[in-house]
């Protein structure tokens, strides 16, 4: 009975919006991100479109020379990381979606097979170098400051990651067939969270949020409490950010719980 009550409280805290307000953004997107100010960035092919927390259109960004956007990291809403895998290029945008520094060519740094890139603290960034099966962290001047070494040798496993992000000084790397590997800021392996078959996820404190085909779940990897809610099957992506719950549909984004 006590465990049932704890799980019920966990679910309530994880999924109940703090506000009843609801906004609908009528726009198509392949994916989207929400920064810590509640702004939504919609990504479709080579374009990023920004909507304010109020739901009002703000501005857009596109670079036809670099092709389609692979990923967008809004850890720092004043320095947004945009990655173009086809051209192995990183672009940093400010909160106006204007380029605020020189592009970073990973090929010029010596990396021709960078599968994944994400932002890190102090304007640094991580890459996953597929050729050497290695995670590497660079500072804001593109100097190498930490690295794992070959992960096949370090972990004795082929992790084949498809997604990663940093949160509170830890790097979370998703291996669909194995789980989520966690490394500290110095690239030392910390733990593995055994949740499989994920495309992406979010982290808030010790809680992981992730979507399956028909549910959206939260999992506290320290207490091992897990809770899920049923969602519509036509939800393409779902983001939990503070008191915001945002859902991506084919032709719109519905944001609930924002002020």
% of the chain residues with pLDDT over 70: 92
209-245 pLDDT, tens digit each: 999 988 999 999 999 999 999 999 899 999 998 888 9
Bridge partners for 71 per DSSP: 83
Rounded distance, CA 241 to CA 178, Å? Answer: 26
Express the helix, strand and coil content of the chain in percent, nearest 5 each: 10, 45, 45
Quick one: what percent of the chain has pLDDT higher than 90? Answer: 85
Question: Which pTM does this prediction carry?
Answer: 0.90
The residue-averaged pLDDT of 14-29 equals: 71
What pLDDT score was predicted for residue 258? Answer: 60
- Strand, coil or helix: what is 40? strand
Which is nearest to 218 in space by CA: 14, 8, 6, 13?
Answer: 14
Parent domain of 50? 2-256
| pLDDT tens string 119-134 | 999 999 999 999 999 9
| Whole-number Å distance between alpha carbons of 94 and 137 | 21
Q: Distance from first CA to last CA of the chain, Å, rounded?
A: 36
Contact 99, 145 (CB under 8 A): no
* CA 101/CA 117 separation, integer angstroms: 17
Q: What is the CATH number of the domain that holds 75?
A: 2.120.10.30
Q: What is the mean pLDDT of residues 172-179?
A: 97
Provide the number of structural domains found in the chain: 1
- The answer on pLDDT for 16 being more than 80 is no
- The yes-or-no verdict on residue 9 having pLDDT over 80 is no
Q: Phi and psi (nearest 5°) for 9?
A: -65, -40
Is the CB of residue 189 less than 8 Å from the CB of residue 159?
no
User: What is the reported pLDDT for 198?
Assistant: 95
Average pLDDT of the chain? 91
* Strand, coil or helix: 28: coil
- Diameter of the chain measured on Cα atoms: 60
What average pLDDT does range 5-18 have in this prediction?
A: 39
Give the closest residue to 186 by CA, choosing from 164, 166, 160, 211.
166
* Res 241: pLDDT: 85
Instruction: Answer for the pair 178, 159: CB distance below 8 angstroms, yes or no.
Output: yes
Determine the 3-state secondary structure of 163 from DSSP: strand
pLDDT, residue 100, reads: 86
Rounded Cα distance, 221 and 203, in Å: 11
Alpha-carbon span 235 to 153, nearest angstrom: 39
Contacts of 64 (CB under 8 A, 6+ apart): 46
Q: How far, CA to CA in Å, does 105 sit from each of 83, 86, 89, 91, 168?
A: 10, 11, 5, 9, 27
């Amino acid at each position: 009975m006590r465990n049932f009550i704890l799980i019920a409280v966990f679910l309530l805290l994880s999924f109940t919006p703090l506000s009843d307000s609801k906004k609908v953004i009528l726009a198509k997107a392949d994916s989207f991100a929400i920064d810590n100010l509640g702004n939504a960035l919609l990504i479709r092919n080579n374009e990023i479109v920004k909507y304010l927390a109020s739901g009002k259109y703000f501005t857009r960004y596109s670079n036809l020379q670099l092709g389609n956007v692979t990923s967008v990291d809004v850890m720092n809403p004043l320095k947004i990381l945009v990655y173009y895998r086809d051209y192995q290029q990183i672009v940093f945008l400010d909160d106006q979606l204007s380029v605020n520094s020189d592009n970073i060519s990973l090929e010029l740094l010596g990396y021709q097979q960078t599968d994944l890139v994400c932002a890190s603290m102090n304007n640094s960034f991580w890459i996953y170098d597929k050729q050497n099966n290695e995670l590497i962290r660079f500072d804001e001047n593109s100097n190498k400051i930490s690295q794992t070494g070959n992960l096949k040798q370090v972990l004795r496993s082929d992790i084949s990651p498809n997604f990663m992000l940093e949160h509170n000084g830890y790097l979370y790397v998703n291996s669909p067939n194995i789980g989520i590997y966690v490394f500290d800021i110095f690239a030392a392996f910390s733990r593995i969270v055994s949740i499989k078959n994920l495309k992406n996820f979010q982290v808030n404190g010790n809680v992981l949020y992730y979507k399956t085909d028909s549910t959206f779940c939260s999992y506290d990897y320290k207490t091992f409490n897990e809770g899920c809610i049923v969602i519509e099957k036509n939800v393409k992506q779902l983001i939990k950010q503070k008191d915001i719950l945002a859902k991506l549909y084919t032709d719109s984004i519905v944001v609930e719980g924002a002020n």
